[in-house]
């Protein structure tokens, strides 16, 4: 038994709503309560938690540091509850459930797609939801309970003690240009050829953007302009329709080159970033369906290492 055993899901929803809106009156309306009634409930929640959770001020109500901790876990529990409700409906309809995973670019092309095909063969009526994004974005989704697990990196700015991590592979990137770009016809490209060009890069603050910014500084490359986007499709379209330089995972860049969509530049420089792996919240038990996908990914990673 803990002090939080008396909390109900409705209480957790109130807590999250108050953090998002900051107004007792607004949140009271959302739950069909009067403002005094919600205020009494909030006092009761503080008593149940044994900590002060809210701070009242002229602009509204804010969560204390203790309240923010509880709200963070509340989001995870609410996401898990929603997933449980959905999976019960899916199973009641005769299907086997759902799995939600996230992946960065390199494993998406080399490991995830063949692993999903294998997993689907064993669970033909399984719904698999795949999110693609940066490691930072995927870890945020994982922390919120939106994903069963992810295939990504563990950046230094994340609390690594929250996650279990199993290394899978390395990630190397290549630069790409449109097929009609002047650099596309060169048998070899040097860093000096990249000076003063236009680029399409990941948003500022992302891990890959930091790596590319460091690369530019190390080789005294000053881009003329940069368009920032996390969208793979937008990057392809911008590079294809302009003189911009883009960057993709090596396998993706070579696939785009092979299908004559873009040209992977023949440059000797290697752009490597720390390896990726299977990441899940520490202590979280995977469903049998999620475990089957997890094991399929692990197996494909082993096969990839034998290929290399």
Q: In the chain, what are the domain boundaries? A: 3-75, 78-169+274-307, 171-273
Question: Which range among 76-80, 94-98, 269-273 shows the weakest confidence by mean pLDDT?
Answer: 94-98
**What average pLDDT does this structure show over 178-189?**
94
Query: Tens of pLDDT along 249-294?
Result: 888 899 999 999 999 999 887 787 778 899 998 888 888 888 889 9
The pLDDT of residue 73: 85
Q: Do domains 3-75 and 171-273 have the same CATH topology?
A: no
The pLDDT of residue 279: 94
- The values of phi and psi at residue 102, to 5°, are -130, 155
Provide DSSP, 131-148: EE--HHHHHHHHHTTS-S
Sign of CA dihedral 113, 115, 118, 120: negative
Using left for φ > 0, alpha for ψ between -120 and 50, and beta otherwise, residue 202 falls in: beta
Q: Does domain 78-169+274-307 have CATH number 1.10.1750.10?
A: no
Which burial class, exposed, middle or buried, applies to 3 when counting CB atoms under 10 A from its CB (0-12, 13-18, 19+)? Answer: exposed
Residue 69 makes CB contacts below 8 A (sequence gap 6+) with none
Question: Which range among 88-102, 121-135, 138-152, 249-263 shows the weakest confidence by mean pLDDT?
Answer: 88-102
Question: Which range among 160-169, 173-182, 223-232 shows the weakest confidence by mean pLDDT?
Answer: 160-169
The pLDDT of residue 96: 64
Query: Tens of pLDDT along 2-32?
Result: 667 778 888 888 888 888 888 888 888 888 8
> Looking at the domain 3-75, which fold is it?
Arc Repressor Mutant, subunit A (1.10.10)
Average pLDDT taken over every residue of the chain:
86
The pLDDT of residue 308: 46
Q: Of all residues in the chain, what percent carry a pLDDT higher than 70?
A: 95
Query: Tens of pLDDT along 142-165?
Result: 888 889 999 998 877 777 888 999
Query: Tens of pLDDT along 184-207?
Result: 999 999 999 999 999 999 998 888
The pLDDT of residue 307: 43
Class of domain 171-273 (CATH, top level): alpha beta
Name the pairing type of β-strands 149-152 and 271-281: antiparallel
> Which residue stretches of the chain are H helix?
9-21, 24-30, 35-49, 65-92, 105-107, 113-122, 135-143, 207-218, 232-240, 250-258, 288-307
């Amino acid at each position: 038994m803990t002090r939080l055993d008396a909390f109900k899901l409705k209480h957790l929803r109130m807590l999250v709503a108050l953090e998002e809106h900051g107004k007792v009156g607004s949140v009271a309306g959302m739950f069909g309560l009067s403002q005094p009634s919600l205020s009494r409930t909030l006092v009761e929640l503080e008593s149940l938690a044994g900590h002060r959770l809210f701070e009242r001020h002229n602009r509204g109500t804010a969560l204390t540091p203790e309240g923010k901790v509880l709200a963070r876990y509340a989001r995870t529990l609410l996401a898990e509850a929603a997933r449980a409700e959905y999976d019960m409906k899916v199973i009641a309809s005769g299907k086997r459930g759902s799995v939600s995973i996230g992946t960065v670019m390199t494993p998406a092309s080399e490991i995830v797609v063949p692993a999903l095909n294998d997993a689907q063969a064993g669970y033909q009526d399984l719904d698999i939801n795949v999110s693609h994004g940066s490691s930072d974005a995927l870890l945020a989704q994982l922390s919120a309970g939106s994903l069963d697990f992810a295939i990504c990196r563990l950046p230094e700015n994340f609390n690594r003690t929250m996650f279990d991590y199993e290394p899978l592979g390395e990630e190397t990137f290549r630069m790409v240009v449109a097929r009609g770009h002047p650099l596309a016809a060169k048998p070899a490209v040097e860093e000096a050829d990249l000076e003063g060009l236009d680029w399409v890069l990941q948003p500022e603050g992302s891990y890959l953007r930091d790596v590319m910014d460091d690369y530019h500084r190390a080789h005294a490359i000053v881009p003329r302009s940069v368009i920032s986007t996390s969208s793979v499709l937008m990057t392809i379209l911008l590079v294809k329709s302009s003189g911009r330089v883009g960057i993709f995972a090596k396998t993706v860049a070579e696939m785009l080159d092979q299908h004559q969509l873009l040209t992977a530049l023949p440059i000797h420089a290697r752009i490597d970033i720390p390896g990726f792996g299977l990441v899940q919240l520490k202590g979280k038990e995977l469903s049998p369906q999620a475990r089957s996908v997890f094991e399929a990914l692990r197996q494909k990673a082993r096969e990839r290492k034998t290929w290399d």
